[in-house]
Each structure stands twice: as structure tokens, then as C-alpha cells.
Amino acid sequence: MHTGNENNTIGAIPSQDFLDTSLYVNRELSWFCFNQRVLEEALNPDAHPLLERVKFISIFSSNLDEYFMIRVAGIEDQYEAGIQDRTIDGHTPYEQLAKIRSIVLQQLRQRNECFYHDLIPALQREKIEFHKVAELSATQQRALSHYFRKEIFPVLTPLAFDTGHPFPFMSNLSLNLAIELEDEENKALKFARVKVPSILPRLLRLNNIRGFHDDDGIIRFIWIEDLIESNLAHLFPKMRIIQSHLFRLIRDADIEIEEDEAGDLLKTIEQGLRSSRYGKVVRLDISSEMPLSVRKLLIQNLGIAERNMYEIDGTLGLGCLIDLLKIERPDLKDEPFIPYNRFEEESAAHIFSMIKAKDILLYHPYDSFQPVVDFLNQAALDPDVLSIKQTLYRVGSNSPIVEALMNAAEEGKQVAVLVELKARFDEENNIVWARALEDVGVHVVYGLPRLKTHAKLTLIVRREQHKLKRYLHLGTGNYNPVTGKIYTDYSLFTTNEQLANDVAELFNALTGYSKHTGYRKLLVSPINTRKRIIEMIEREAEWMCKEKSGRIIMKMNALVDAQTIRALYSASCAGVRIDLIVRGICCLKPGIVGVSENIRVISIIGRFLEHSRAYYFHNGGKEELFLGSADIMPRNLDDRVEALFPVFDKALIKTVTSDLDLILRDNVKSWEMNSDGNYSLIVNDAQPVNSQALFLSRSSQKKASFKFNVNEL
């Protein structure tokens, strides 16, 4: 596949324009603004039910871990290599690391203040309590000690550190106890480490432990590390426990692959996964009570700088709080909803007949993801279906999508699947699925060298009346029913021949040696996405000059690409009204006089993760709308196979633009970026508009309307 990067020019925009570093937001600091907005969902007592607020503490914490594993690790590499190149906003790697540390410390203080002084007391009022082992009665402590010896002690491995024992290896995200000991016989001081096993639940529910007979309706938890600390004497007989201290490691988890050297990509990924568990340490979380001597020992043996050490009061690693959602307290959670299933409720007709009759657009999770699964299940069993081609990026465990593809192969269909092994943090799942698919005869490929395949495509070929008919599913999100319930994404079902031709050519490029670059309707990265997006931005500026009708709406997860940002600045200077809905990172600054006063940037943080990408251009009344998998980032435009697909049906274009308009009117869950790059929660006197709540209401109305119509019949 030719990259086409030689055509990635800005067109009519002079290259010297908009180069002032003050016009841009630092990519890393913008990410922290996003994670702060996530944290604010927990901080706001009116934002969500109580257990959902706890969930946002968990999401914030897990986001931060992942950020260090990938982004901070990369910046550390730059700094250690002596790279002094400045970012588009003028920061060196060292300056970024210093700002990151300052922000992280501040945010962790906010998180802990919220969790310990707001959420825990609120949970206690709802009869959900956290306890220390030392606070429990003697009878309860004996019951816990018995539980420890039976369920935890057998899987613990104490590791000594002295002249005869090397410093133990510690895996990524491991929670550990550093233990200072004294030999009772010779009074020699010793040091040991005990890993808190990740295979055991971090939060132990006391009500489920034998020996606890509470009948007061209170749900009680302890942290497993507290129980281990309380029973260290069982691990070190004839040793006096001086003190123990918790610490937690975060390592570089980005897998680098020299694909030209990798004859078998599957094995290379597996080896990379093993080595990533022991990548360099990029963050060391320690308890505030840890003495200087132990800190120095860890710093020296882990090979880190003091800037990598973070002193944290309280429990380390709060990502596990997501487990509290398992508590059966629906009154403390979001109200459950059943998404509208258009395929199921409109008729029992053949799915292919429905798609052939007209293009169908679904908006998940308000519209059910089940039709996507049914589409593949029906294709697997339909004797007239000849072949299925699909890309898989993140499918999750127990995937009905993969099961349908395996069934199709067993039914004799030609099934070709691109499994992206380099899908970060989903590599292990994808390796399992790749092997399972190969075992039943599916043609499995792993993508193109040096490019991740992120496009979301399915092509089904069916024989109808002695002719072949192609059916497409094109999406903005992954083929994962679990995330389909919590991520907002679009799904388009169509038989459009022009799109089918382009999708077929793209699959040929992915599975074979095709060097096709002449995509007519699809925008395909790294071939033509940036070029076409910038051309359409510039076209709006031209329409503004001719008819004063320029209008752009873009919804995405991130806006980083400098060339596209400059094109948007130029269009703003021409008077084009531009609305950007950017969930996460945004390096563009709106509202700067003479540069971006016609640009507005908002971010929605709510019950569902805003994941859909939509790019709308008014085009003098001949509206164009593209949906798909690509954000406006260099990695999506240059280093991935992405696909943005046009929506041709005018009614569907109107549906999406109405969705976007509703999001832009949100004044409950919407944050607006100021001209300095910071965000403010939108507060005004207008009628409250919560876009996600209104989409849920619309979904319920669709179901009610269907039932009413059926009853009328």
C-alpha cells in the first residue's frame, strides 16, 4: 500500500502561517485536561449515582496508568536519548516530564481527597464499608487468619534480597510489600519483597468469608494487602517484622517490533508481551510512610530517577474500584436500559432484504449492537452467502463475532479476517482468536508491515438470482458487543456499489499485494485521508468567500495533526463557522482573535464514552458527511490503515447532523475549551440539555412507538 505522504501538503495555506507556538496546546497536557474532566465526574456529587462516581475514580486511575505505560515511557526515552526537539507548542521532553509530574501530583491529591473524604463516608451512609484488619473483633480476625492460611498463603512467594539473593524482578502494575526484618537469632537486618497476587480479588468482601455472621445488612470490604500485612509472621517464622511498606510499579508497556526481522509476527508479538512485563520502570508509587532507606534501595535497584517516584497517601492502585459495581445496589447505579433493536422490532424479515431495501444507520449504544452480531450469524448460516471478509481490532473475550466467523468457515464459506495483533493491551486476546480462527480454516492475516489496521469493515458476498450482491457493515467502533453497550458509535449497513468496490480493493490491499490507491469514495489512511480532509476544509473557505455559507462540524476523539489544525485556522480566518466535538486531546486553541474566533471546541464526558467520529461539510448545500475509525492525529493519518466512509442517504445525513446539533447544545455534560487551552463546564440559564440522556429517551420512545404500532395493528 502506497502511503501517499508526498501529497500531504496544506494546499493554499502559506507554510509560514500559524507557526507561533502559543497557538497550540501541548499534546500531553491536553490529555491531562481530558483525564481531569473524567475525575470531575467523580468530584461532582450531582453528576452520577454514588457507585458510578466511584467508577469514575477507577477510570481516572486506569487511564493514568495506561498513560504512563505508553506516553510517559516514550517521553522518557526521548529525554534519556538527549533529544531536545520541541513540540509544536514549544516544549522539550524534560519540560514535559516536569509539567506532567506537577499535574499528576495535584490530580492524585484531588482523587484521594474525593475518595477518602467524600465517597467513602457516602458509601458508609449506604451501608458499604471499608475496614482495616486491626479494627475488627478478635473473633473476626481469627476468621480472617484462617481464610488467609487457606486461600492466600499458598500462592504467596516471599523473596529475599541479600548477597545470596538478587533483587527480585517485579512485573508491570504489580503491587508489592517491601518488608524490613530482623533475624531473631543473630539480630541481622534483612529485606524481603512479597507480591500481592493479581490472581486474587483485591477487595475482599467480608460477608462472603466463613466466620462472619453479620446480619445488619452492611456490606464490608478489606484490602487484600492489609490482610497479607497482618499475617506476615506466617511467611517469616523466627523473624521479627520491623515494618512493611506498599509500593507499586508501572513499566514501559509499548511493544516495539522490527517487522522486517520478524518472520512470524504471531510469535514476535508473544515475545514482546513477555518482555513488556519487564520494561523499564516509568513510575513507582510508594506509601507516604516508607523510610528514606527503603526508598533509596528501590530507586537504586529499579534504576529510576527520583522524578519517577510518587508518594501517595492511602491505597495504591485504585483502578480496582470498578469491582464495586458488582454490588447489588441498583439504587446507587445508573438506571439500566434496553437499547432499541431496529432489526428485531421492525419485522422478522431477512436482514439482507432490509439492508438491500435501504441503507441503515445505527447509533450505539442507544441502538442495539445485536444487529451487527445477527448480520454475521445470518451470513454464517445462509447457504447463498459465499464469502465474508472482516477486520478485527478489539473484540474482547467470549466474542460472538469470532464465533460467527468460525461457524461460517465450518459451513464452507470463504472467510478472510485481518486480526490486528498490535492492538495495544488487546494483543493476548487477539492472539487467542487468531489461532482459534486458523484452526477452523479461516484465512487469517495480520496486517501490513509498520501499519496498524484500525479500520472497521465487513464485506459479505451473497448470490442472488444468479448474480453476486455485496453487503457492507462499516463502523466507527470495534466489533465488541461489550463496548457496544458503553461506547457511542455509528454502524452503517449498505449495499452501495461504489463503496463496495472501494472496500473490496482495500481488503485486497490488506490480504494480498494490491497497491491500489485510487479510492473514489472511501478516505483511506495513510493514502488520502489528510489530503481529502484538508481539501474539504479549504473548500468551505471558498464557499464562504463565494456565498457566505461555510460550515464544518467534526466529532472525534483527538485533534493533534498540525497540518489539519492550520487548515482549520485558515478556514476560521475566512469566516467559516467550525464546531469541534473532541472528547480527549485537542491541540487547537479556539477563540483567538484573528486566528480561531470562529472555532468552538467542546468535550462531552458522561455515562457513555463518546467514541464516534463524524466529519460534516456543508459544501454549499451539497452536504458531505464521513463517519469512520480515524481521529485527526498523525498516527491515524500516517501510521494506520483507517477508513472514513461517506453517508449518501440525505435522510441519514440529516439524522447525524441532528445528533451533532444536540451534542453541541448540551449544557449539562459539556466542557468548552477556552482560548488559553483550559476547559470550563458549560453553565447557562438555558433549558438543561443532557445529550446522552436525551438520546436514551429517544431510544425508549422508539421502542414504545413500535409497541404502540403493533398493538394498533
Q: What is the pLDDT of residue 428?
A: 65
If pLDDT is split at 50, 70 and 90, which confidence band does 435 have? confident
Give the Cα separation of 666 and 600 in Å (integer): 13
Average pLDDT over residues 134-162: 92
pLDDT in tens, 306-328: 999 999 999 999 999 999 999 99
If pLDDT is split at 50, 70 and 90, which confidence band does 165 have? confident
Average pLDDT over residues 39-56: 97
Question: Which one, of 258, 284, 283, 280, lies nearest residue 271 by Cα?
Answer: 258
Give the Cα separation of 632 and 585 in Å (integer): 10
Residue numbers annotated as active site: 454
Q: What is the pLDDT of residue 214?
A: 66
pLDDT in tens, 225-247: 999 999 999 999 989 999 999 99
Q: What is the pLDDT of residue 412?
A: 95
pLDDT in tens, 584-628: 999 999 999 999 999 999 999 999 999 999 999 999 999 999 999
Whether residue 16 is predicted with pLDDT greater than 80 in this model: the reply is: no
Q: What is the pLDDT of residue 394?
A: 80
Whether residue 535 is predicted with pLDDT greater than 70 in this model: the reply is: yes
Question: Which one, of 625, 614, 615, lies nearest residue 653 by Cα?
Answer: 625
Whether residue 5 is predicted with pLDDT greater than 80 in this model: the reply is: no
98-332: CATH topology? polyphosphate kinase like (3.30.1840)
Give the Cα separation of 97 and 99 in Å (integer): 6
Average pLDDT over residues 515-522: 91
% of residues, the chain, pLDDT over 70: 90
Integer CA distances (angstroms), 556 to 498, 630, 693, in order: 25, 8, 20
Secondary structure (H, E, C), 342-405: HHHHHCCCCHHHHHHHCCEEEEECCECCHHHHHHHHHHHHCCCEEEEEEEECCCCCCCHHHHHH
Whether residue 707 is predicted with pLDDT greater than 50 in this model: the reply is: no
Name the segment(s) of the chain with CATH classification 3.30.870.10: 5-22+523-707, 342-445+458-508
Instruction: Please name the residue that has the C-alpha cell 464485506.
Output: 459
The full DSSP string for 145-170 is HHHIIIIIGGG---EE-BTTBPPPP-
Instruction: Please name the residue that has the C-alpha cell 509560514.
Output: 16
Calculate the average pLDDT of the chain: 90
Give the Cα separation of 38 and 669 in Å (integer): 11
Whether residue 462 is predicted with pLDDT greater than 70 in this model: the reply is: yes
The full DSSP string for 463-491 is EETTEEEEEEEEESS-S-TTGGGTEEEEE
681 DSSP assignment? E
Whether residue 713 is predicted with pLDDT greater than 60 in this model: the reply is: no
Query: Where is pLDDT greater, at 430 or 661?
Result: 661
Whether residue 426 is predicted with pLDDT greater than 90 in this model: the reply is: no
The CATH class, in words, for 5-22+523-707 is alpha beta
If pLDDT is split at 50, 70 and 90, which confidence band does 267 have? low
Query: Where is pLDDT greater, at 370 or 165?
Result: 370
If pLDDT is split at 50, 70 and 90, which confidence band does 255 have? low
Give the Cα separation of 174 and 605 in Å (integer): 30
Q: What is the pLDDT of residue 139?
A: 87
Residues 624, 542: contact at Cβ < 8 Å? no
Give the dihedral of Cα atoms 696, 698, 703, 707; nearest 10 deg. 140
Instruction: Please name the residue that has the C-alpha cell 499458598.
Output: 154
Q: What is the pLDDT of residue 268?
A: 52
116 DSSP assignment? I
Integer CA distances (angstroms), 169 to 166, 425, 434, in order: 9, 21, 31
Whether residue 166 is predicted with pLDDT greater than 80 in this model: the reply is: yes
H-run or E-run covering 77: helix 73-80
Rounded to 10 deg, the angle between the 691-712 and 650-664 helix axes is: 140
Give the Cα separation of 132 and 121 in Å (integer): 15
Q: Can you read off the three cell numbers belonging to residue 262?
A: 520478524
Whether residue 706 is predicted with pLDDT greater than 80 in this model: the reply is: no
Amino acid occupying residue 446: Y
The full DSSP string for 303-355 is T--GGGEEEESS-S-GGGGGGGGGSS-GGGSPPP---B-HHHHH-SS-HHHHH
If pLDDT is split at 50, 70 and 90, which confidence band does 454 have? very high
% of residues, the chain, pLDDT over 90: 77
If pLDDT is split at 50, 70 and 90, which confidence band does 107 have? very high
Q: What is the pLDDT of residue 9?
A: 36
CA-based max dimension of the chain: 92
Least confident range from 159-168, 358-367, 525-534, 602-611: namely 159-168
If pLDDT is split at 50, 70 and 90, which confidence band does 6 have? very low
Q: Can you read off the three cell numbers belonging to residue 34?
A: 481530558
pLDDT in tens, 464-493: 998 999 999 999 999 999 999 999 999 999
pLDDT in tens, 179-222: 999 988 888 899 999 999 999 999 999 988 887 766 788 999 99
188 exposure class (CB count in 10 Å sphere: 0-12, 13-18, 19+): exposed
Give the Cα separation of 628 and 614 in Å (integer): 7
Whether residue 275 is predicted with pLDDT greater than 70 in this model: the reply is: no
Q: Which CATH architecture has domain 342-445+458-508?
A: 2-Layer Sandwich (3.30)
Instruction: Tell me: cis bond preceding 154? Omega within 30 of 0 counts.
Output: no
Whether residue 551 is predicted with pLDDT greater than 70 in this model: the reply is: yes
Question: Which one, of 423, 197, 181, 176, lies nearest residue 281 by Cα?
Answer: 176
pLDDT in tens, 636-663: 999 999 999 999 999 999 999 999 999 9
Which 3 state secondary structure label does DSSP give 680?
strand
Q: What is the pLDDT of residue 427?
A: 56
Reading phi first (left if > 0) and then psi (alpha if -120 to 50, else beta), residue 696 is in: alpha
